[in-house]
Amino acid sequence: MLDGRRVLLIISGGIAAYKSLELIRRLKDRGAAVRCILTKGGAQFVTPLSVAALSGDKVYQDTFSLTDEAEMGHIRLSREADLVVVAPATANLLAKMAAGIADDLASTALLATDKPVLVAPAMNTMMWDHVATQANVATLAGRGIHRVGPAAGDLACGEVGSGRMAEPAAILERIAELLGGGGPLAGVKAVVTSGPTFEAIDPVRYIANRSSGKQGHAIAAALAALGADVTLVSGPVALDDPAGLRTIHVESAVQMLNAVRGELPADVVVCAAAVADWTVANRAPHKRKKQAGAPPPVIELAPNPDILATVSKAAGLRPRLVVGFAAETERLLDNARDKLARKGCDWIIANDVSEDSGTFGGDANRIHLIDAEGIEDWPLLDKTEVAARLAARIATALGAE
């Protein structure tokens, strides 16, 4: 049952829009409150009147409609929902979401929302397979946007392939999962560190590690997708904050440690950040100036706290599961095993970051999961896929206790 849960359903232009009428009916049957935005394209396929009749509410159609804006701005519209569902999601709307374009009510509401978003793509198979669409879908997945479908089969355009919108029953199932507070990690508190840390040399310069944050952010999103209550503690990265979880932004290792400590107790902590091992002991309060003839300044380093080891050894506050990463350029498995013992965590995810591995900044990762029992070698996978598998493994491990 979805009693009292509020769904904002965005219907964009596709032949599959008729299935959204069925989705509204099923949602209402289960007690959900459904409010609908119908795009211009969507209104070519279903009428505002039928959407209004089924949802039992008025239909929102235009950002600049004075009455709509007066009664309910696009911001309230997107915030007063527990979940935003885009069904059908056209290639065009997915592209706008990925690019952050807000040129109509639907795309504006999607940009303004702070709620989880589920998309049900529907389009011609060539459009779905196009690299542009696939890149947009990957971008959205990295931001924690949930997706159901598309399915393969006969398409309305006469072609056969992937692109059919998921059936209303399948969409409803995902909605129930996302809204019901369900999911195998419901009630589990998770903390994930991600990205590099910056250690200031002076107000202008810093020392940092190489890290895009892609893997850590994807893990946070994957844990949230399974229903965990997730806090992501992120160093400076060029990524968006994933939807459906809380992100704390930090710069230095000490700030990262403090943020993680502030989130304990937690059930699981995943340390995916590339924390600088050293901080600058003689940090200058003002910009260091070059002086003609003077030798270059000497930067004195001091060790940073080890966040993974601190959490693993936190007396009374140790999470049930602590997962670390081992980024190695040589002797991968030996070094990783050594790290597992030295840092006291439960699992180490070992990955090869040597120059030709393509791991840094790339979208794929080949990892080995090491625990007290042994080693599991995973195939080369997209980082979002690694994250999904890891989240499922975490769910099994926590459930098995």
CA pair distance 401, 399, nearest whole angstrom = 6
- Residue 257 CB, shortest distance to ligand CTP, in Å, is 8
Interface with ligand CTP includes 327 (CB under 6 A)? yes
Residue in 304, 312, 365, 384 binding ligand CTP, rule: CB under 6 A: 304
- Residue 231 CB, shortest distance to ligand CTP, in Å, is 15
For the question of residue 157 being annotated catalytic, the response is yes
Residue with Cβ nearer ligand CTP (12 or 312): 312
Interface with ligand CTP includes 352 (CB under 6 A)? no
Closest-CA residue to 41 (of 19, 13, 64): 13
CA distances from 34 to 21, 80, 167 (A): 11, 11, 18
User: What are phi and psi for residue 109, nearest 5 degrees?
Assistant: -60, -40
- Residue 136 CB, shortest distance to ligand CTP, in Å, is 30
Residue with Cβ nearer ligand CTP (199 or 385): 199
* 380 Cβ contact list (under 8 Å, min separation 6): 364, 365, 366
- Residue 271 CB, shortest distance to ligand CTP, in Å, is 4
E strands along 272-318, which residues?
278-280, 301-303
Site string for ligand CTP, 90-129 (x = CB under 6 A): ----------------------------------------
Stretch near ligand CTP under the rule CB under 6 A, chosen from 36-44, 222-230, 267-275, 292-300:
267-275
Strand partners, 268: 190, 321
Stretch near ligand CTP under the rule CB under 6 A, chosen from 38-46, 220-228, 232-240, 270-278:
270-278
CA pair distance 146, 171, nearest whole angstrom = 11
Site string for ligand CTP, 233-252 (x = CB under 6 A): --------------------
- Residue 375 CB, shortest distance to ligand CTP, in Å, is 17
Q: Is 313 helix (H, G, I), strand (E, B) or coil?
A: coil
Residue with Cβ nearer ligand CTP (188 or 308): 308
Residue with Cβ nearer ligand CTP (274 or 388): 274
* 6 Cβ contact list (under 8 Å, min separation 6): 32, 33, 35, 80, 81, 82, 83
Residue 242 is encoded by which pair of tokens?
């994933």
Of 36, 157, 271, 345, the catalytic one is 157
Site string for ligand CTP, 34-73 (x = CB under 6 A): ----------------------------------------
Q: What is the CA radius of gyration of the chain?
A: 24
- Residue 288 CB, shortest distance to ligand CTP, in Å, is 25
CA pair distance 365, 363, nearest whole angstrom = 7
Stretch near ligand CTP under the rule CB under 6 A, chosen from 61-69, 119-127, 268-276, 389-397:
268-276
Stretch near ligand CTP under the rule CB under 6 A, chosen from 20-28, 65-73, 85-93, 321-329:
321-329
CA pair distance 81, 162, nearest whole angstrom = 30
CA distances from 182 to 10, 97, 157 (A): 23, 26, 37
Note if the bond before 196 is cis, omega within 30 degrees: no
Residues 271-300 that bind ligand CTP (CB under 6 A): 271, 273, 275, 277
Interface with ligand CTP includes 307 (CB under 6 A)? yes
Residue with Cβ nearer ligand CTP (26 or 320): 320
* 172 Cβ contact list (under 8 Å, min separation 6): 23, 26, 27, 30
Number of residues that bind ligand CTP (CB under 6 A): 15
Residue 17 is encoded by which pair of tokens?
């829009």
Q: Which residue is nearest to ligand CTP (CB)?
A: 307
CA distances from 16 to 9, 33, 129 (A): 14, 22, 18
Residues comprising the chain, all counted: 401
Distance separating the N- and C-terminal Cα atoms of the chain: 29
Site string for ligand CTP, 163-202 (x = CB under 6 A): ------------------------------x---------
Residue ranges binding ligand CTP (CB under 6 A): 193, 253, 271, 273, 275, 277, 304, 306-308, 324-327, 339
Catalytic machinery residues: 157
